[in-house]
Structure 1
Amino acid sequence: MKFSVFQLSRIGGREKNEDRMGYCFTREASMFMLADGMGGHPEGEMAAQIALQTMSSRFQREAKPRLPEVAPFLSRAVKAAHQQIVRHASARAMLDTPRTTLVVALIQGGQLYWVHCGDSRLYVMRGGQLLARTRDHSYVEAQNRVGMPLKGVNRNVLFTCLGSAVRPVFDISGPLLLREGDKILLCSDGLWSCVEDKRIVLALSENPVAKAVPELVDEALKNGGAHADNVTALALEWEGSSHRADAAKDGFTQTDTMSLEGFASTIQSDDLEPTGGGLDERAIDRSIEEINQAIQRSIGRRR
Structure 2
Amino acid sequence: MKFSISQGSRQGPRPYNQDRLAYSYSRHGILMVLADGMGGHQHGEVAADIAVKGMVEAFEREASPMIAQPAQFLREQIARVHAVIENVRLRKRLMESPRTTIVVALIQHNTLFCGHVGDSRLYLYRNGLIEHQTQDHSVVQSLLRDGKIRAEEVAHHPHRNKIYNCVGGEQPPQIELAPPMPLREGDVILLCSDGVWNSVPEVSIAQDMLAANISQGVTRLLDDAEAASQTEGDNMSAIALQWGERQSAPLTVSTLDLPVNGTTTMMNQVAVTPHPYALDLTDDEIERAIAEIQEALGKSRQYIKKQES
Q: TM-score normalised by the shorter chain: which range applies? A: 0.7 to 0.9
In the other structure, the counterpart of 2:222 is 217
Cα gap change, 1:231 to 1:277, in 2 (>3 Å): farther
Which deviates the most, 147-156 or 224-233? Answer: 147-156
Which deviates the most, 203-212 or 35-44? Answer: 203-212
In the other structure, the counterpart of 2:127 is 127
Q: Secondary structure at the match of 1:261?
A: coil
In the other structure, the counterpart of 1:204 is 209
Asked if 1:169 corresponds to 2:174, the answer is yes
Asked if 1:100 corresponds to 2:105, the answer is no
On the 8 A contact 1:111/1:177 being kept in 2, the answer is yes
On the 8 A contact 1:8/1:213 being kept in 2, the answer is yes
On the 8 A contact 1:43/1:98 being kept in 2, the answer is yes
Shift of 1:277: 6.9
On the 8 A contact 1:139/1:153 being kept in 2, the answer is no
On the 8 A contact 2:46/2:279 being kept in 1, the answer is no
Q: Distance in 1 between matches of 2:7 and 2:31?
A: 14
Q: Distance in 1 between matches of 2:252 and 2:94?
A: 43
List gaps (5 residues or longer) in structure 1.
Answer: 279-303
Q: Secondary structure at the match of 1:125?
A: strand
Q: Distance in 2 between matches of 1:26 and 1:179?
A: 20
Q: Distance in 1 between matches of 2:212 and 2:176?
A: 30
On the 8 A contact 1:56/1:267 being kept in 2, the answer is no
Shift of 1:58: 1.2
In the other structure, the counterpart of 2:25 is 25
On the 8 A contact 2:8/2:268 being kept in 1, the answer is no
Asked if 1:13 corresponds to 2:13, the answer is yes
Q: Counterpart amino acid of 1:92? A: K
Q: Counterpart amino acid of 2:170? A: A
On the 8 A contact 2:7/2:268 being kept in 1, the answer is no
- Please report the TM-score for the alignment, with normalisation by the length of structure 2: 0.83
Q: Counterpart amino acid of 1:209? A: I
Shift of 1:207: 3.7
Q: Counterpart amino acid of 2:178? A: S
Q: Counterpart amino acid of 1:59? A: F
In the other structure, the counterpart of 1:262 is 262
Q: Counterpart amino acid of 2:34? A: L
Q: Distance in 2 between matches of 1:82 and 1:49?
A: 12
Percent identity over the alignment is 37
Q: Counterpart amino acid of 2:65? A: P
Q: Secondary structure at the match of 1:264?
A: strand
Which deviates the most, 178-187 or 217-226? Answer: 217-226
Q: Distance in 2 between matches of 1:194 and 1:152?
A: 15
Q: Distance in 1 between matches of 2:97 and 2:268?
A: 22
Q: Distance in 1 between matches of 2:88 and 2:279?
A: 16
Q: Counterpart amino acid of 1:201? A: A
Q: Secondary structure at the match of 1:224?
A: coil
Cα gap change, 1:268 to 1:277, in 2 (>3 Å): farther
Asked if 1:185 corresponds to 2:184, the answer is no
In the other structure, the counterpart of 1:301 is none
Aligned-residue RMSD, C-alpha: 2.3
Cα gap change, 1:152 to 1:10, in 2 (>3 Å): closer
Q: Secondary structure at the match of 2:230?
A: helix
Q: Counterpart amino acid of 2:71? A: A
Q: Counterpart amino acid of 2:114? A: W
Shift of 1:208: 2.1
- Please report the TM-score for the alignment, with normalisation by the length of structure 1: 0.84
In the other structure, the counterpart of 1:293 is none
Shift of 1:268: 6.6
In the other structure, the counterpart of 1:55 is 55
Q: Secondary structure at the match of 1:205?
A: coil
Q: Distance in 2 between matches of 1:68 and 1:54?
A: 18
Shift of 1:153: 4.2
Pairing of 1:38-117 with structure 2 (within 5 A): 38-117=38-117
